[in-house]
Structure 1
Amino acid sequence: MKAVVCRQFGLDQTELAEIDSPSMRPNGVRIRVHSAGVSFANLLVLEGKHQNRWEPPFTPGTEVAGVVLECGEATSLFKPGDRVVAGVRIGGFAEEVVVPESTVFALPDAVDYDAAVQFPTIYATAYGALKWRANLADGETLLVHGAAGGSGLAAIEIGKMLGARVIATAGDAAKLDAAQRHGADITINYRDENFRDVVLRETSQRGADVIFDPVGGDTFNESLRCIAPDGRIIPMGFAGGTIPQIPANLVLVKNVTVIGIYWGYYMGWGKQAPPPTMADQVRKAFKEMLEWAAAGKLRPETYASFPLERFRDALSAITERKVIGRVALHPTPIPD
């Protein structure tokens, strides 16, 4: 089969190659990959800078959608021909993957493959962060940074489904339009206005109850100065390039809770396994999210899609910081 293979760390050491199809295993589901999600995390993996480090050679990619080709003898949920979406630890930029059944989910006919690949990590992280970890409540104010990226748009939509008033920040008019299109109640161009001042003004000086921050750096520091008492802040990424050092004095005096979220833990990819009950909780979460998507209540946005041989173009689009939503690869053609 064809796959993207990283021979040594670095995008320039990564190539399209012919490799053996992955071996089947008893709990595995073999998927013909019609779409694979492309993200900033993929670039970090290729550079050896992600917390999940793989030694070359390897095939990147953690989000896939396609059709089941084969099921292992220990599986029971799927059959050949089923449309599915799956989270994979590695190997998604390929024509086929074999995935543990535990991280494969049924895909409704109303959800297309490019939209589907935003769920295994992007929408799932927003769902887990806001619903499970932060307990975002109806009527609370949610502040979302990096609002036009895949993570930001997902957080806006999940926040609205949970009943929040959403304030979104981004750096240009097109990105702010996208945030508003996906449900943001208030948008802030952080290049033109200090978002801290706007948040405090729009909340009668109380601040945001929950802050979803995939940016880090100074954005995180300013967020701590416009968070409400008993607020919750989620540092779920560092796209700004700097990991903030959390000032414990502000956490103390404002009764702030800083919440970590690593979705891979719930998928069984961490150093420690989640409790057995978590598997059912994860499957219920995906069922709910995909039902919302099928009903048009969640609307993942695809900025561009590329055939597998143009994987460099797909990854380069991420570095240009113009992407609204997500980029997708098509290892095998999507059927009409």
Structure 2
Amino acid sequence: MRALLSHEPGGPDTLQVAEIHDPTPSAGELLVRVHAAAINYPDVLIIEDKYQLKPPRPFAPGGEIAGEVLSVGEGVMEWKPGDRLIAVPGFGGLVEKIVIPARSAFRLPDSRSYVDGAALLLTYATSIHALYDRGRLKDAQTLLVLGAAGGVGLAAIELGKARGARVIAAVSSEEKAQAAREAGADDAIVYPRGPFDKAGQKALADQFKAAVGPAGADVIFDPVGGDYAEPALRSIAWEGRYLVVGFPAGIPKLPLNLTLLKSCDVCGVFWGAFAMRDPKANAAHVAELFRLWDEGKIAPVVSATYPLERAGEAIAALASRQVIGKLVVTLDD
């Protein structure tokens, strides 16, 4: 079978398509024919050895898949060949066939395409855990979403609106602002590109404060980090919740006196660990996502698809932070 492999640390240009042996499922596992694999920011980091997970090489990136069960391992009763599924293996998804634990898979309805299915789980499951569990977002509260035109940002907008929140989207271009508005954001602001000096950070803080209003943002969803973090925190409401989701702009250092002055919480969001530690709660969230999808309240935005041979281009595009929504690699001939 074909696979896109990382043989050494480096950028997307170091990835190579190769023929490797088909895997075989062990007890409790599924052999899956991968039809589509979504690209996410961890794919940018993992091939450069900058992610917390460092698989032995050679390995295939690709942490989110949609596919069809080819065979099942011993003891698997709930799945059979031909069943359609989505899963987040963490890595290894940019292959034609993959073995995954049966317990990690979720059924993909026949009414949904593999491309859309591949784009659902990681971003929306992260966002629903962030907003509902860590952020305790409630009806009529104000939600500020940074990086709001990315896959996880658009998911946060839709889920925030489904929760009844007032959603303010913060993005880096007018094109992205339009995408955020189309996803349901009540307002969108365009911020400049960092890094920022002290005056630039103050100006950005003022921009955030003006957008969220004098009461501040009850919840701030930050998948960006870097120099954007402190200005955003300065716009938080009394007893607000600041959600730490990711760091494509760099790992920030927050002045903790701000948390005292606003009596606010800074909350880490690690969906993968949450899903492993509390699979029942995660499964309930996924069921809620499918319900919201059926009701038309959420819908993955896939801005482009790539064949396996060009999957490195998709990773490079995501690294440039110019992508709106999700990018998906298709493996159907």
SS in 2 for 1:33: strand
Partner in structure 1 of residue 332 of structure 2: 332
Partner in structure 2 of residue 214 of structure 1: 223
Q: CA deviation at 1:212?
A: 0.4
Q: Which moved further from structure 2: 189-198 or 303-312? A: 189-198
Contact 1:136–1:210 (8 Å) recurs in 2 = yes
Q: CA deviation at 1:110?
A: 2.8
Match of 1:228 among 221, 237, 245: 237
Runs ≥4 residues deviating over 4 A: 192-195
SS in 2 for 1:137: coil
Distance in 2 of aligned mates of 1:199 and 1:319: 25
Distance in 2 of aligned mates of 1:23 and 1:71: 9
1:316 aligns with 2:327: no
Distance in 1 of aligned mates of 2:320 and 2:257: 37
Distance in 2 of aligned mates of 1:119 and 1:141: 24
Partner in structure 2 of residue 284 of structure 1: 284
Partner in structure 1 of residue 117 of structure 2: 116
Q: CA deviation at 1:195?
A: 5.2
Partner in structure 2 of residue 261 of structure 1: 269
In structure 1, runs of 5+ residues without a counterpart are: 269-273
- What does residue range 113-262 of structure 1 map to in structure 2 within 5 Å? 113-191=114-192, 194=203, 196-240=205-249, 242-262=250-270
Q: CA deviation at 1:115?
A: 1.8
CA deviation map 1:140-173 (0-9, x unaligned)? 1000000111111011111111111100011111
- What does residue range 265-276 of structure 1 map to in structure 2 within 5 Å? 265-268=273-276, 274=277
CA deviation map 1:100-149 (0-9, x unaligned)? 11210011223222221223321110010101111111111000000111
- The amino acid of 1:77's aligned partner reads E
SS in 1 for 2:33: strand
Distance in 1 of aligned mates of 2:18 and 2:254: 44
Distance in 2 of aligned mates of 1:89 and 1:319: 18
Contact 1:159–1:166 (8 Å) recurs in 2 = yes
Partner in structure 2 of residue 63 of structure 1: 64
Q: CA deviation at 1:203?
A: 4.5
Distance in 1 of aligned mates of 2:120 and 2:126: 8
Contact 1:141–1:165 (8 Å) recurs in 2 = yes
In structure 2, runs of 5+ residues without a counterpart are: 194-199
Distance in 2 of aligned mates of 1:253 and 1:216: 21
Q: CA deviation at 1:20?
A: 1.1
- The amino acid of 2:22's aligned partner reads S
Distance in 2 of aligned mates of 1:141 and 1:296: 22
- The amino acid of 1:167's aligned partner reads I
Q: For the structure 1 residues 86 and 229, does the alpha-carbon distance in structure 2 shift closer, same or farther, using more than 3 Å as the test?
A: same
Q: CA deviation at 1:207?
A: 0.5
SS in 2 for 1:23: coil
TM-score (norm 1): 0.92
Distance in 2 of aligned mates of 1:97 and 1:294: 28
SS in 2 for 1:94: coil
Report the number of matched residues.
324
SS in 2 for 1:111: coil
Q: Which moved further from structure 2: 181-190 or 309-318? A: 309-318
Q: CA deviation at 1:204?
A: 4.1
TM-score (norm 2): 0.93
Q: Once superposed, what is the RMSD of the aligned Cα atoms?
A: 1.7
- The amino acid of 1:211's aligned partner reads I
- The amino acid of 1:55's aligned partner reads P
Partner in structure 2 of residue 2 of structure 1: 2
- The amino acid of 1:286's aligned partner reads V
Contact 2:208–2:231 (8 Å) recurs in 1 = no
Contact 2:66–2:85 (8 Å) recurs in 1 = yes
Distance in 2 of aligned mates of 1:296 and 1:76: 32
SS in 2 for 1:37: strand
Distance in 1 of aligned mates of 2:213 and 2:326: 34
Identity %: 40
CA deviation map 1:277-307 (0-9, x unaligned)? x222211211110222233221111111011
Partner in structure 2 of residue 271 of structure 1: none
- The amino acid of 1:78's aligned partner reads W
Q: Which moved further from structure 2: 60-69 or 49-58? A: 49-58
Distance in 2 of aligned mates of 1:198 and 1:250: 18
